Amino acid sequence: MTDVYAQELLIKKFLELEGLTKVKLNDEDESEEYTYPEVALPNETFTRPEDGYWYELNPIPGKPVQIELGSEARSRWAGIFQVNICVPRNSGREALNDRFEAVAALFRSGLIIEGVRIRRTYSSSALEDGDFRVLPVTIEWWSDLDR
The domain locations on the chain are 3-145
pLDDT at 13 over 90: yes
Residue range 109-139, pLDDT digits in tens: 999 999 899 999 999 999 998 899 999 999 9
Residues 81, 8, 117, 104, CA torsion sign: positive
In angstroms, rounded to a whole number, what is the distance separating the alpha carbons of residues 145 and 4? Answer: 11
Cβ 82 vs Cβ 62: under 8 Å:
no
CA distances from 104 to 65, 108, 116 (A): 27, 6, 16
CA distances from 38 to 5, 19, 67 (A): 23, 10, 39
Poorest-confidence range of 31-35, 39-43, 50-54, 77-81? 31-35
> E strand or H helix at 12, and its extent?
helix 3-14
In CATH terms, the fold of domain 3-145 is: STM4215-like (3.30.2000)
